[in-house]
Amino acid sequence: MTETMLPADLAIDLRQLVMTIANTVDLVGVDDVMHGRRVGMLAREMAIRMGWSEADQLILYDAGLLHDCGVSSTRVHHRLVVDLEWDGAEEHCIRGDELLANFQPLAHLAPIIRYHHSAWEWLVTQSLPGDTARFANLIYLADRIDVLAAPYHADQSVLSHADEIRARLASARGRLFSPELVDAFELISQEEAFWLALQPEWVQQYQVEMESHGDLKMIGWSEFKQCATIFSRIIDAKSPYTEQHSQGVARLSRHLAERLGLDPITCEKIEVAGLLHDIGKLQIPDEIIEGESALTAHEFDIMKSHSYGTLQVLKRLHAIAEIARWASLHHETPDGHGYPFHIGGVALPIEARIINVADIFQALAQDRPYRKSMTPDQILAILQERADLGRADPGVVRLVADDLAECHRIAICLE
């Protein structure tokens, strides 16, 4: 294999990246895709009113945006936005910590995320570094404020329920939440503006304003690729049946691109596109992903939305527009009958054609609720049939046929 070459001129705005991760995580909410953004806003606004430093305010905003990065299941998300506290909440905190701890640009958020569902009465008995305890507890409080207020956003009746929400949270003063934070919340939330700001249009406006905040930091390709791996781990945790799917697609896509003779930088980019291709699937309900029978027409329509969702999430990162396009086209076919754009013929780039074949190969090589994994020969027969029908690129399928055993090894992530 040739020595890896990097897109040296690529630079990613770290704030744009944080927003992209936040939007990815919020997809899991399905019907409410602003929970993380509201938590970040609430935490930052409370920090401002309490006179905390601007640096602390930004840390809390980012921690709020990403606090649920350990959640990929729509079932788990439903529990998180219904109950004030519940057994098992810590699991996603641990996973979120693990996802960010080794990613240097965001590692400072990992301890906050680790403890954002920990009771204050326990936190104060621990020897946690710096401001971890109070930051984590503020995220917990902001998170529960949003959970209690969320049912009233649609009919704009939250003001009528503000006293009820304050009383519910005050009952956990000193146990779940720091007395200092509860007292500040009770004072600040007397203002109608505190609650009105939670409406979707104002949350979106707040996010736009935060994206242009003056804390500009840039990261390079190596760090972005590491972050793409974090994305893939969030995506693949959606279901035990999709474990390592994105990584398998990425590895196989790169292998096929190299065998096709694409240049090293394109091979790097296509690998990252493979890691990111299923971001939109986070918004698909678990019941559809793990269904044991054929999808109904309605369920298939919902499933078709995921590749469009991938584009909408990734388009925020202007520096990777090309990668985002390849990733979003992974269900397009040469005959133009794929989805969601019906792009075919010469308009369908070879990079997307490669990811399409790699995606099908890897999925067929894994167990699914409705079937067992297929053998390499069975997979190849399906790919060849698709190529004959114009549903897969025949040249890419020939590459698979010429290197079948190695493609299978790579697809299932065997060392």
The 10s digit of each residue's pLDDT in 272-322 is 999 999 999 888 888 888 777 788 999 999 999 999 999 999 988 988 999
Contact 288/302 with Cβ under 8 angstroms? yes
The pLDDT score that the predictor gives to residue 286 is 80
Token duo for residue 408: 């299978």
Neighbours of 69 (CB within 10 A): 28
The pLDDT score that the predictor gives to residue 4 is 55
Mean pLDDT of 144-170: 93
Poorest-pLDDT segment among 22-36, 108-122, 201-215, 321-335: 22-36
Token duo for residue 396: 């890419």
Give the span between the Cα atoms of 270 and 323, in whole angstroms: 7
What's the half-sphere exposure (Cβ side, CA atoms, 13 Å) at 296?
4
Percent of the chain past pLDDT 70, that is, above it, reads 92
Contact 221/7 with Cβ under 8 angstroms? yes
Q: Is the pLDDT of residue 1 over 60?
A: no
Quote the pTM value.
0.89
Name the amino acid, one letter, at 115: Y
Could you tell me the pLDDT band of residue 204, with boundaries at 50, 70 and 90?
very high
The pLDDT score that the predictor gives to residue 38 is 95
Mean pLDDT of 187-193: 97
Q: Is the pLDDT of residue 88 over 80?
A: no
Token duo for residue 333: 């076919």
Please indicate whether residue 372 is annotated as part of the active site.
no
The pLDDT score that the predictor gives to residue 143 is 94
The pLDDT score that the predictor gives to residue 6 is 66
The mean pLDDT value of the chain amounts to 90
Give the span between the Cα atoms of 270 and 104, in whole angstroms: 24
Closest residue by Cα to residue 14 from 105, 111, 81: 105
On the 0-12 / 13-18 / 19+ scale of CB atoms within 10 A, 51 is exposed
Closest residue by Cα to residue 399 from 413, 387, 414: 387
Q: Is the pLDDT of residue 239 over 80?
A: no
Q: Point out the catalytic residue in the list 281, 304, 315, 372.
A: 281
Could you tell me the pLDDT band of residue 121, with boundaries at 50, 70 and 90?
very high
Helices (H), 285-375: 286-289, 297-314, 321-328, 350-365
